[in-house]
Amino acid sequence: MRMSWLNKTWVRIAFHTAAWIIVFSLPFLLRRYPATDAPKDPDENGFFLMNNLTALLWIGTFYFNAYILTPRFIYPKRYFYYFLIVLGLFAFIMAVHSWLFVSLITDKAFLLSRSIGFNIPPFMLAIAVSTTYRMIIDKNKTDKLLQQKQEENFKSELSFLRSQVSPHFMFNVLNNILALARLKSDQLEPTIFKLSTLMRYMLYETDEEKVSLQKEIDYLNSYIDLQKQRVGGKVKLDVNIPQAGAHYEIAPMLLIPFIENAFKHGTGHIKNAQINISMYVEHNILNFVVRNRYDVGETSESKDKTSGIGLTNVMRRLNLLYSGKHDLLITKEDGWFVVSLQINLV
């Protein structure tokens, strides 16, 4: 739920006005009134006026301390100067209060010690509350700016990671087309058409934070079809990716690196090359498994360093996009490289 209306100026003014009305109404609401036959204090009206005018001093103290003293002296830790100014402020308030007393109260004598004891508690309360208020406001503002900065970094990082995925995909597909052109295959034209469809998806769909899962499935199936043309019958492919519910969404191009990785390291001079790809959704959980045989003698130095972004970036994307909502397991066992991924789609 958005609460941006709370930041509007008129809302803040209304809130502060209501708060001050409540604060200064409490003494009158809790006041014990004398019996009707009791003699009336001749200075009652004078005390009433003096107390209300003094209340304006507490309001001024609150905002003066919150917006001037706290940021200029508390934050820079200039406590000595802060103490002197607060002491001077209290002396000024006492001078005004004594003048009000002498001017409005005619039947009683002014006692400085009694007046100080009466005014210190509200003065200290105004100072303490206003300092706390300013610190809370600044803390919320800092947290908001930090959140905005993190969101911008988040978007920039995702954009960077996504830009690394796309060139690798294009590198592989263009190699496929080059191979078809050399063979003068009849599949060249439909392959180029399919590539243009994929390019359209990459250019116009993947700018969104999420796309429909079915569009992502169509993208994966098209990519797999292009890879089938490249590997021919040299690799046994077992693909099971059924249609998905129309309401499911997923981050675009999130799964393709796993399939790219399988075709990169699961083909070539591998004996009994085989790639198994399956995906289904059950109870709002996407289950995605990619298995491929790999050369157990292959080392990191023997890999093609000019292509492939590895799985590090896609794992980074998963942590950014689905933190706490995914489970990724990558294992190597008995000549099989297995990627098992579960994502909560809701």
> What global pTM score does this model have?
0.56
Segment 29-50, tens digit of pLDDT: 545 555 455 555 556 677 778 8
Amino acid (1-letter code) at residue 4: S
Token code pair at residue 79: 């406590």
Q: What whole-number distance in Å separates Cα of residue 244 and Cα of residue 216? A: 10
Of 16-20, 39-43, 130-134, 300-304, least confident by mean pLDDT is 300-304
Q: What whole-number distance in Å separates Cα of residue 88 and Cα of residue 86? A: 5
CATH class assigned to 186-344: alpha beta
Amino acid (1-letter code) at residue 330: I
Segment 187-221, tens digit of pLDDT: 888 888 888 877 787 777 777 788 899 999 998 98
Q: What whole-number distance in Å separates Cα of residue 109 and Cα of residue 102? A: 8
Residue tagged 């990519």 (tokens): 223
SS3 255: coil
In the chain, ranges of CATH 3.30.565.10 domains: 186-344
Indicate left, alpha or beta for 184 from its phi (over 0: left) and psi (-120 to 50: alpha). left
Averaging pLDDT over each range in 51-60, 100-109, 130-139, which range is the top one? 130-139
